[in-house]
């Protein structure tokens, strides 16, 4: 029993010490990402009235147009050319829906993979205007 408590304490200490590093690596994802059309705010359809919206990613949330999601991040995995991480997303206003998202950042291009087999990307960081 005593050994398992020591092991548990050591594991908690290791996890606690690794969290700030993971948060620093995840900061590369924060910002506004989109296709050239989304970044420019062009209309979805020619002659339409609905502009294409980029993704805005922050430490605790993601926004795409009028869709807001609270993010609960998973650990970051470093890769040769970037990083991969995931998040649990709670999206919506009146009725929350839960999704799992995968974020793959490689060569300054971001792909967001949703649980319902949709992939957004490759997205580039939008220039600040």
Task: Please tell me the pTM assigned to this model.
Answer: 0.77
- Looking at per-residue pLDDT, the higher value among 8 and 56 belongs to 56
| E strand intervals along the chain | 31-34, 55-57, 61-64, 67-73, 77-79, 82-91, 97-106, 109-114, 119-125
Determine the pLDDT at residue 87. 97
The string of DSSP letters for 43-74 reads BSSTT-S-B---EEE-SSEEEETTEEEEEEEP
For 77, the token pair is 């995995």
Q: Tell me: the pLDDT tens digits for 63-101?
A: 999 999 999 999 999 988 899 999 999 999 888 899 999
Does the pLDDT of residue 106 top 80, yes or no?
Answer: yes
Q: Tell me: the pLDDT tens digits for 39-55?
A: 999 998 888 888 999 99
Determine the pLDDT at residue 105. 97
Task: Write down the domain spans for the chain.
Answer: 2-125
């Amino acid at each position: 029993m005593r050994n398992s408590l020591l092991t548990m304490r050591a594991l908690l200490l290791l996890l606690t010490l690794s969290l700030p590093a993971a948060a620093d690596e995840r900061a590369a994802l924060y910002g506004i990402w989109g296709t050239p059309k989304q970044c420019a705010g062009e209309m979805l359809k020619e002659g339409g009235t609905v502009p294409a919206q980029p993704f805005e990613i922050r430490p605790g949330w993601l926004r795409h147009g009028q869709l807001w999601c609270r993010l609960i991040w998973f650990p970051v995995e470093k890769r040769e050319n970037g990083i991969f991480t995931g998040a649990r997303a709670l999206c919506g206003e009146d009725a929350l829906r839960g999704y799992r998202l995968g974020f793959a950042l490689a060569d300054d291009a971001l792909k967001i993979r949703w649980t319902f087999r949709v992939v957004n990307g490759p997205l580039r960081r939008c220039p600040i205007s």
